[in-house]
Chains A and B, each alone.
Chain A
Amino acid sequence: MTAEADRAQKTLIDELLEEQQQMTVVERFARRHGRGGVPAQARYYRDLVPVSRPADGQQYGFAVDLDACTGCKACVSACHSMNGLEDEETWRGVGLLSDGAGVETAPYLQSITTACHHCVEPACLEGCPVMAYDKDPETGIVRHLDDQCIGCQYCVLKCPYDVPKYSAKKGIVRKCDMCSSRLAVGEAPACVQACPTEAIRIELIDKLEVSRAASAVGARLIPGAFASKYTKPATVYRSLRGVPASARPGDISHLQVEPAHWPLAAMLLLTQMGAGIFAMLAFIGLCRSRDFVAIKEVMSLAGFAAISTGLAASVLHLGRPLGAWRFFLGLKTSWMSREILAFGVFAGAAGLSTAANCAQRFGSLLPLHISEGLLVLSTAMTALIGMAGIACSGMIYIDTRRSFWTARLTFPRFFGTTALLGAMAGAVLAAWHGASARLDLLLITVAIVFRLALSIWEIASFKGALANAGDPNHRSSLIAWKLMRIWVFAQHECSAVSVLLAIAALSLVMRGESSEAAGVLMTGSFLACAAAQVIERLFYFTTVVAPRMPGGIA
């Protein structure tokens, strides 16, 4: 068929559908810009970036003129487009400060544009276990090395400004690098280029000056921002109008549930249980050698299994676990690195001491004889290393300076759980294993005491925070109470069930009845107790208030 005949066959619909798909813009409209050359936008941003590179003691910093920022949010979009970010990814945000909603305060509205503050003492960098952050010695830009990142997201927890953003798809965190490669060739960062009112510029900041100012009591970038003394952020917010101290973030009443981080919760609970089991075994060994001999195999096997499973679970948390071997890079500053080291040693020690405790079984194969004293000692040493690991775990969270994760709230949880699950697991194993009634009695009693103590402490601190609006953890308690109330009840119901079952088991043991029935009851008690601790850990992660810059209306 000739082309002409073909055309004759085509209906107008066909023709128009075809025409609709033709891309003729290049042919029809000659390009207006030559190739290469100075960026056209330079005429607008030339005065918004420093002429000289930072001198000694200086670094680059964002300087925001709040009086000029009216909330158009072009900076966010431009950053997104000019850096080619993922669809939902933004490195800059625009929040809102408004009047304190008091009848007396003057009406106030102020948009707050914010990105990475390229802190003088970056918490992200300090927390990173694999040195995936670099603070450029010359420019002070805090850069994230995407290929170094293992996706542990600890920087997300460490940064008090919610800057690093994790992408589950990519398995890594990414963040603003102040368009360092633009700055390197004299171009302005995307946000600076795109602000219609020149509200954002790059300035040379005196690091010492920033540190000094940030260290003052109560110093913060703007109302609602985290205390600057933590990371010493290099951004400057200026306003001739002044920002009223009563100004409040637009999202102040917003209760946000943070990610549950299940692998981390599992890792914490299992390593704590493992360490608890070893501690309990060592305790038994120190008290009664006969019971120790009877139960050492099964308890150390259980402890080792818990630890191994916990560490395996932690790997699931990582976006790119293959790079995790580099963890030692962060030992100098990162509690995450230290935890990995401590738990690595702990797992090794637990393995060895488990092997030693089970060695008798293979006595015919292994000619060596290990004395009981040595076994108790190795078990105790393992438990101690475990405690060190748990302390590191605690420090990971304490070091984020979040008010729900202070030492006062974290250590009782972590070590309390260690003791509780250690005793519980020990009691279950003792009951099933048919150890002495005395041991059963001891372990069940200890478990009940720990369970009660921990629950009472939990309830007391939760209620205190909920009742007192001035309590630093009031919001955390509100998140739990308003958004996850059934879990609050579930947690304490599980604890109660656990205690009741344990008491029943105790009475069986005291009456000298079958150890098996006690075993069943204690297993139930243990499961209920474990469930309560799972919920406790769920709250630990989800109800923490993550500090961030003021957000928009939410």
Chain B
Amino acid sequence: MSARKQVEEKRTDAPKHPVQAAAEAAIRRWSGPLTDDLVLHPGEFGLGNVPVRLKPDDTTTTVCGFCSTGCGLNVHLKDGRAINLSADTHYPVNLGMACPKGWESLTPLAAPDRATTPLLRNEATGAMEPIDWEYALFLFCERFKEIQRLHGAESVAWLGTGQITSEELAFLGALGKFGMGLVHGDGNTRQCMSTAVVAYKEAFGFDAPPYSYQDFEQSDVVVLIGSNLCVAHPILWQRLMRNRNRPEIVVIDPRKTETAMAATQHYAIQPKSDLTLLYGLANIIIASGCVKRDFIQAHTTGFSEFSNFVLPFTTERVCECTGLTSIEVWRLAQCIADGKAVSFWWTMGVNQGHEATRTAQAIINLALMTGNIGRPGTGANSITGQCNAMGSRLFSNTTNLLGGHDFLKPEHREKIAGILRMKDERIPRQNSWAYDQIVRGIANGKIKGLWIVATNSSHSWIHQKAFNEILSKLDFLVVQDMYHTTETAGRADLLLPAAGWGEKEGTFINSERRIGLVKRVSRSPGQALSDFNIFKLVAQYWGCGELFSRWSSPESVFQILKECTRGQPCDITGIADYQSIDALGGVQWPWPENGEAAPEQERRLFADGRFFHPDGKARFIFEEPRPPEESVDAEYPFMLLTGRGSSSQWHTQTRTGKSDVLRKLYPRVVHVEINPADAGRLQIAQGDMVSIASRRGEMTAMAFVTGTLQEGQVFLPMHYAAVNQLTFPSFDPYSRQPSYKSCAVKLRKLE
């Protein structure tokens, strides 16, 4: 054992009196069972030293199941099962690094609260009682069919997720709409990136984030808007840190976040003033003549209307709205105008707003008019949230028909029906309701049965109290999840136990459109089944198994999905199979069948300036800003901001809360960040317990007093269930995405 040998050598090296040395050897124990427990040994497989008891007999790679960065993980296997993992050195996304969630990916699989058998609520006692799969499936079909018989096919809906594989999402969507005859289904992706979807669709003609992560490394100006990259996407920050151009890093965010601290410029604008700022910047840049006329002429439409529109967005107006000084506004405009390769990146600070779509498009407008698109280090780039939000965008069959198609277009319905070998009448000729509309449908009695898959709505949906009251109106609620303890599972009539990430196979699509492979490296507990297999069973018990006879395995579904993308901007017909995804380190879409063996590893869109509208041109889209529906007043004088708490927390914490290590890395109690001036006025000291109340609810948190927040604002991390009791249910009218980032609250110090 190397460590012991090393110690032996060291001992002979040490110049000691022989008697002393002999005595020490007798009475100092340099080795033994406790020492051996930590001894490292060459792990082989390129791993370097690993603990002896965790020495693998093989390794395989997989893609992380938390966020949309889509890091490659190197799973250490023993007898075909995962015993440990490390970041994948070779994966083009993360280059050998991972965030704490990635490192801890395997831990939540072993949590004691895993659902291991279907559970049915005993109506008399209210307790969940185990039942077998046969009965669970019988009940599932019986109850939902009964509801449909009484209230119509549309009265059963589903809420899906961005956390399961594309193949599973497609199965759920196809089973729901084509097999069970449901009309309304949506996903929790509505909460994170539907704004980006609509913004891109309208501006580019297709939901197409144009970048690769390499753009972080190639910009000379990086503008981050409503993105706390350091904490929310640490590996993307890593990519930015690899930038050798000494880039200007500009952060536009009301808070001085970790990212703002690390940036070269921070603009602490007032919450929800971003749209006005972006229009004002456009006005200055246009007025200064710093726009790329040739590019605009050749590749866009609507610029002259746009330049007229932004004229009233004077610097004075911008300053008044944002709280910035005119020097700051001009400095920012100049920085963007002077940049040779400017990339704009946005996350939830933009997506979750009452006028989010137009804000995202205002960012796109800046990129278009300065010609910062299609070239290395540029782009108007939405950084997505969940590991497979991008897969959901293409394949969940909710907002879009499979493969980014349109339910309203007969030729699209015909194409998909042909590929699926079914009659096109099976495809609804209308769009699904969005998440909030489904919730409203439950409230007004139109939806009576709901199937929630891999999302924790009872925690995460905005204005949570109302949502949970509405849920109780359902006749039948089915929750399909890894855990029986989620807030949502606690309200289910029937719980279906699902296998988690790492216990099943399929593909995810990351933020830069990279299709990555996830593999089964761990056994699921008890009778938990992959979501894929659950859908397969539902299809059979529902009586539409025949329709899915070709959907035998995730990989066979992948082949079907490939066909669905043929001729689309997201064409992936050039990918042979899972093995090739694995071998290539993931493949970005598009990769159409063209005979070429391997795509370049990092590709961006629009190098040719051709967008996806029929005329090939991008659109300038704009609209007069509106104030948020709820603003502060004398009674509720603080604006509540919400966001990611730490890099070790993920959404509603159903998984990250199960790891001892991750739990150590975030505060034990929910804390509220308060500006020192406000704290002083309310005589709140650091560590005091504070009540935070909105018109909808109240919660308690520990005060953390810091100047990183502006006066009149407070911040709460979103990972605690109580936070969404406060949030105000306002939605972007185009994307139907909830506006989590601002609502009015009041504070009270608790004794």
CA distance A136 to B99 in the complex (A): 32
* B89:A41 contact, CB within 8 angstroms: yes
* A145-B98 CB under 8 A given contacts A23-B80, A82-B86, A196-B238: no
Q: Does A296 contact B (CB under 8 A)?
A: no
* B86:A24 contact, CB within 8 angstroms: no
Residue of A nearest to B80 (CB): A23
Q: Does A16 contact B (CB under 8 A)?
A: yes
30 pairs from A and B in contact (CB 8 Å cutoff): A20-B503, A33-B46, A34-B46, A41-B48, A71-B647, A73-B646, A76-B661, A76-B665, A77-B104, A81-B84, A81-B85, A81-B103, A83-B40, A87-B660, A93-B664, A98-B704, A99-B706, A99-B707, A101-B706, A138-B10, A146-B38, A147-B29, A149-B34, A181-B40, A182-B48, A193-B96, A196-B99, A196-B241, A552-B665, A554-B669
CB contacts under 8 Å to A, within B566-597, are 578-579, 582-583
A101 is contacted by which of B24, B47, B59, B679 (Cβ under 8 Å)?
A: B679
Q: Nearest Cβ in chain A — how far from B579, in angstroms?
A: 7
Q: Does B705 contact A (CB under 8 A)?
A: yes
Residue of A nearest to B137 (CB): A13
* A33:B59 contact, CB within 8 angstroms: yes
Measured between beta carbons, the chain B residues less than 8 angstroms from A136 are 10
Segment of A107-115, A451-459, A492-500 engaged in the interface with chain B? A107-115
* A194-B97 CB under 8 A given contacts A36-B42, A81-B85: yes
* A39:B47 contact, CB within 8 angstroms: yes
Measured between beta carbons, the chain B residues less than 8 angstroms from A32 are 59-61, 90, 582-583
Number of interface residues of B (CB under 8 A): 118
Segment of B145-153, B341-349, B452-460, B523-531 engaged in the interface with chain A? B523-531
B528 is contacted by which of A20, A182, A196 (Cβ under 8 Å)?
A: A20
* A20-B705 CB under 8 A given contacts A72-B230, A110-B261, A254-B687: no
CB contacts under 8 Å to A, within B52-101, are 53-54, 58-61, 75, 77, 79-81, 84-87, 89-90, 94-100
* B537:A90 contact, CB within 8 angstroms: no
* A20-B676 CB under 8 A given contacts A98-B706, A181-B2: no
Q: Does B30 contact A (CB under 8 A)?
A: yes
What 0/1 pattern do residues 72 to 105 of A give for CB contact below 8 A with B?
A: 1110111011111001101001100011011101
CA distance A72 to B50 in the complex (A): 23
* A25-B60 CB under 8 A given contacts A20-B530, A147-B30: yes
Measured between beta carbons, the chain A residues less than 8 angstroms from B35 are 145-147
Q: Does B13 contact A (CB under 8 A)?
A: yes
* A29:B582 contact, CB within 8 angstroms: yes
Measured between beta carbons, the chain A residues less than 8 angstroms from B634 are none
Q: Nearest Cβ in chain B — how far from A105, in angstroms?
A: 6
Known contacts A137-B14, A145-B30, then 9 further A-B pairs from the complex at CB < 8 Å, ordered by chain A residue: A12-B537, A39-B49, A70-B231, A87-B660, A93-B664, A109-B256, A148-B30, A187-B48, A552-B667
A148 is contacted by which of B28, B58, B100 (Cβ under 8 Å)?
A: B28
Q: Does A553 contact B (CB under 8 A)?
A: yes
* A88:B676 contact, CB within 8 angstroms: no
**Residue of A43, A181, A193 most packed against chain B (CB within 10 A):** A181
Q: Does A172 contact B (CB under 8 A)?
A: yes
Q: Nearest Cβ in chain A — how far from B726, in angstroms?
A: 20
Q: Nearest Cβ in chain B — how far from A549, in angstroms?
A: 14
CA distance A426 to B553 in the complex (A): 85
CA distance A389 to B3 in the complex (A): 39
For the residues of B in contact with A, the DSSP-based class is: mixed
Measured between beta carbons, the chain B residues less than 8 angstroms from A80 are 103, 661
A13 is contacted by which of B241, B537, B707 (Cβ under 8 Å)?
A: B537
* A170-B34 CB under 8 A given contacts A74-B97, A99-B707: yes
Q: Nearest Cβ in chain A — how far from B58, in angstroms?
A: 5
B100 is contacted by which of A25, A73, A197 (Cβ under 8 Å)?
A: A73
Measured between beta carbons, the chain A residues less than 8 angstroms from B536 are 12, 16
CB contacts under 8 Å to B, within A7-30, are 11-13, 16-17, 19-21, 23-26, 28-29
* B256:A74 contact, CB within 8 angstroms: no
* A29:B519 contact, CB within 8 angstroms: yes
* A103-B677 CB under 8 A given contacts A70-B230, A76-B100: yes
* B45:A33 contact, CB within 8 angstroms: yes
Measured between beta carbons, the chain B residues less than 8 angstroms from A13 are 133-134, 137, 537
CB contacts under 8 Å to B, within A451-471, are none
* B10:A70 contact, CB within 8 angstroms: no
Measured between beta carbons, the chain B residues less than 8 angstroms from A370 are none
Measured between beta carbons, the chain A residues less than 8 angstroms from B46 are 33-34, 37-40
Measured between beta carbons, the chain B residues less than 8 angstroms from A138 are 10, 13
CB contacts under 8 Å to A, within B515-540, are 519-521, 523-524, 527-530, 533, 536-537, 540
CA distance A40 to B137 in the complex (A): 47
* A553-B665 CB under 8 A given contacts A70-B258, A109-B258: no
CA distance A250 to B646 in the complex (A): 14
B103 is contacted by which of A77, A146, A180, A181 (Cβ under 8 Å)?
A: A77
Measured between beta carbons, the chain A residues less than 8 angstroms from B134 are 11, 13
* A172-B103 CB under 8 A given contacts A26-B58, A72-B231: no
CA distance A205 to B382 in the complex (A): 44
**Residue of A23, A37, A44 most packed against chain B (CB within 10 A):** A23
Q: Nearest Cβ in chain B — how far from A181, in angstroms?
A: 4
* A137-B47 CB under 8 A given contacts A107-B256, A326-B27, A554-B668: no
Measured between beta carbons, the chain B residues less than 8 angstroms from A196 are 94, 97, 99, 234-235, 237-238, 241
Q: Does B31 contact A (CB under 8 A)?
A: yes
